[in-house]
């Protein structure tokens, strides 16, 4: 059984006064809903909560149609993960099992996550919708393999449903920062340069339609220790 230790630090960049207006309250609400979904996804992926608990926790975040599509996608992902688990299963001896358990105990895996969330100052796909962006940086550190670094960009469209803002659409993209590239001159694989990573992000990361830089107003730092 994996042991899970979570350290959660929330850093607010936005300044909210005690006399905030309704518009500021709305901004906070959008961020809170995105934060709730992102954190519940992490808890579900690390088996801290069950699938039923996950569904209950996110039940008030989506429009009815969007929730149906989202959960169907999650079901497919869970099915693919289960198939992968069965495909990787091998019959091993008791001695090999003890060695494997000892190796995992000695090689605690640490996952560092930084979640950044924008406000709702961006237009959605359709008229009357608002859009929120998130950027998640994930670094997986393990003693028995090299560090894996990834960036996840997600775009959330919100629409008012019965006087409540609900998520109607989610789009995501992922970039591996630790991946190598084949160099034709040296005929060897090398690491991406900072400029090459920047060029990849230019074509991959979501940006507002007016091409302005996305302003992230809240940071959440999470550390997961898995055994």
Distance between CA 78 and CA 190 in Å, rounded?
A: 34
Distance between CA 33 and CA 48 in Å, rounded?
A: 20
Closest CA to 136 of 58, 53, 206, 57: 206
Q: What's residue 36's pLDDT?
A: 94
* CB-based contacts of 175, cutoff 8 Å, min separation 6: 150, 151, 153, 197, 200, 201, 204, 205
Distance between CA 34 and CA 10 in Å, rounded?
A: 14
What are φ and ψ of residue 24, in 5° steps? -65, -40
Show pLDDT as tens, one digit a residue, over the chain (227 residues): 444 444 444 443 333 333 445 556 555 899 999 999 999 998 888 888 888 899 999 999 999 999 999 998 887 776 544 444 344 445 556 566 555 555 555 556 788 999 999 988 888 888 889 999 999 998 888 776 677 888 889 999 999 999 999 999 999 888 877 766 666 777 677 777 778 777 777 776 676 655 567 889 999 998 887 65
Q: What's residue 37's pLDDT?
A: 96
Q: What's residue 195's pLDDT?
A: 80
Q: What's residue 69's pLDDT?
A: 92
């Amino acid at each position: 059984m994996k042991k899970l230790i979570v350290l959660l630090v929330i850093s607010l960049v936005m300044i909210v006064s005690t006399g905030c207006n309704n518009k500021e309250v709305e901004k906070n609400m959008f961020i809170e809903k995105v934060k709730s979904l992102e954190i519940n996804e992490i808890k579900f992926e690390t088996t801290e909560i069950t699938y039923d608990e996950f569904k209950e926790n996110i039940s008030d975040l989506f429009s009815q149609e969007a929730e149906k599509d989202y959960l169907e996608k999650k079901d497919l992902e869970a099915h693919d993960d289960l198939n992968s688990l069965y495909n990787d299963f091998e019959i091993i001896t008791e001695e090999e099992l003890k060695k494997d358990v000892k190796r995992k105990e000695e090689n605690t895996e640490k996952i560092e996550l930084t979640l950044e969330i924008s406000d709702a100052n961006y237009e959605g796909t359709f008229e009357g919708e608002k859009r929120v962006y998130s950027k998640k940086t994930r670094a997986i550190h393990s003693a028995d393999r090299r560090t894996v670094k990834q960036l996840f960009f997600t775009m959330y469209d919100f629409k008012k449903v019965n006087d409540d803002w609900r998520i109607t659409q989610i789009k995501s993209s992922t970039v591996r920062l630790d991946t190598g590239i084949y160099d034709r001159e040296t005929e060897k694989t090398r690491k991406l340069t900072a400029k090459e990573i920047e060029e990849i992000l230019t074509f991959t990361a979501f940006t507002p339609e007016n091409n302005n830089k996305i302003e992230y107003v809240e940071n959440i730092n999470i550390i997961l220790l898995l055994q």
